Amino acid sequence: ATYKLHPLLGLARMAPLFIRSCRRSRNFFASASLLLYATKTATAGQACGSGSSVPCLASLPRQSAAGLARRRTPVAVSPFQTGTPLTRRLDSGLSRSDDLHGTMYPRSAAEATTDLRLAPSDEETSSSSSALDSRITLLAGAAASLSFVAGLAASGILPGPTFPSEMGFAPYSSELIIRDVGATVLTLSLAYAFVKSITFLAKRGILESRDSRKVIHTLSAPLFILFWPLFSDAVGASAFGAIVPLLNGARLVAAGAGGTDEGDKELANAVSRSGSASEALGGPLLYCIVLFFSTLIFWRDSLIGVAAVSVMAAGDGMADIIGRRFGRGNKWWFSNDKSIAGSAAFAISGAVVSTGLAWWLAYTGVWMPPMAMVDVAQRLAIINILSAAVELVPIGDDNWTVPLTAGILAAALIQ
C-alpha cells in the first residue's frame, strides 16, 4: 500500500503498533516516539516511492514495535530527526531486524550519545503507580466515610441540633449536612497539607526526624480543634469531625505496614524516632485513636476532650523538645530520662494551649463555660501540673495515661 488515498492513513497504520508496544514494554515514552514519528510523516504527506529522506510508513515492519516492546528500559529520542533512533537500550542498540529500513539508527556512539534522552525505568514507573494508587485509596476512603456519615445524618440516625427545651433533637437538615461535609473536606485537606509540609522538610533534611515527629505531635490536635467551630451545631456533627483523625490513623497504618508509596515512607520517617516504619503503629497511632474518641464522644460539649488532647499534644510534645535542649543539667533525682525543664514545659505549654482552645470555643459560641474563664484557666493549670506529674511515672504509655488523667480531672474540676 502506498497511502496515496490520504496521508492521515499513516496514523491508522501506527495505532495498533503503539498500543501493542505500550502493553508489552509498559513504557509510554518509547511507544509514543513511534506515534509522534507517524504523525510527522503522515501530516507531511509522505508516501512510498516519493524519494523523501523520511522512511515510508507503509513498509514499517511489525517487528519494529515488537522489538521495542521487548526492551524493558528503552531510551527515547526526538522522532523528528532523520538518522536518529526512536528507541535504544543504554547497554546495546537494537538488532538489525529492528532497524527501520536500515537508516533510522545511528552507527556511531557519538551520534547516539548526542540524541539520547533517558526514559523512566520500571522502578520509577512502579513508584509513580504506587503513589497514585495510595492517593486514590485515600480519596476513596474519605469519600466512603463522608458518604456513610452523611447517609446516617440524612436518615435521622444521627441527631440534629437540640431543641431549646432540651427534650429532643431537630432533624439533621440538608443544609447542616452540606455544612458539615464542607467543614470535613476543608479540615482534611489542611491536615494533609500540614503533615505533607512537615514530611517534606524532614525529607530535605531541614528538620531532623525527631523534631518533625514532635512538631506534628504538638500542633496537629490543637490546629484541628481550632476548626471545630466550622461544623454545625448538630449533635451528630462530632461524627463528621471524627473522620479527620480516623483517616489520619489509616494513613499511619498504611505507613507503618511498610507501604511502598513514597508518601507513606516520608510519613513513617517523619513520625518515628529512628525512621523505622513500625514506630508509626505505636505512639503516633495511639495519638490518632485518642483524638478520634475525644472528638466523637466529648466534642464541644465539655472540656474533657480538649483538656485530654491538649496535654497529650502540646504538653508532651513541648516537654520532649525543651527537655532535650535544656534539660541535660537538671534531671530529676529519681529519673535519668526526665528533666525539670521538660516537666515545666509540659505544664506551661499544656495550660496555655488548653486555656487558649477553651477561650476560642467560648468566643465562637460553640461551648458555654460553666464558670468564669479565669476560674477555668486556673483549673486547667492544675490539671496540667498533675498531668505533668503523671508523665514522670514510668508506667504505661504516656500517650494514653496522660490524656486519661487530664480527662478525669477535667470531668471532676470543670464539668
Query: pTM of the entire structure?
Result: 0.66
pLDDT in tens, 361-388: 999 999 999 999 999 999 999 999 999 9
Strands (E), 250-390: none
Instruction: In whole angstroms, give the CA distance from residue 14 to residue 39.
Output: 9
d(CA 180, CA 188): 12
What is the distance between the alpha carbons of residues 325 and 316, in angstroms, rounded to a whole number?
Answer: 15
Q: Which helix (H) or strand (E) holds 301?
A: none
- Tens of pLDDT, residue by residue over 317-347, are 898 889 888 888 888 888 778 899 999 999 9
CB 26 within 8 A of CB 126: no
* Cell numbers at 67, concatenated: 522489538
Angle, nearest 10°, between helix axes 283-293 and 398-413?
20
DSSP 73: S
pLDDT tens, position by position, for the chain (415 residues)? 444 455 555 555 655 565 565 555 545 555 555 555 555 554 454 444 444 444 444 444 444 444 444 444 444 444 444 444 444 443 444 444 444 444 444 444 444 444 444 445 554 444 455 555 667 777 888 899 999 999 999 999 999 998 776 678 888 999 999 999 999 999 999 998 998 888 888 778 887 777 778 888 899 999 999 999 999 999 999 999 999 999 988 888 877 666 555 656 666 666 666 556 666 677 788 889 999 999 999 999 889 999 999 999 999 889 888 988 888 888 888 877 889 999 999 999 999 999 999 999 999 999 999 999 999 999 999 999 999 999 888 777 777 889 999 999 999 999 7
Q: How far apart are CA 35 and CA 279, in angstroms?
A: 48
Supply 339's cell numbers. 528533666
- Copy the grid coordinates of residue 104: 533510522
What is d(CA 237, CA 299) in angstroms, rounded to the nearest whole number? Answer: 9
Residue 103: phi, psi to the nearest 5?
Answer: -125, -5
Task: End-to-end CA distance of the chain: give it in Å, rounded.
Answer: 89
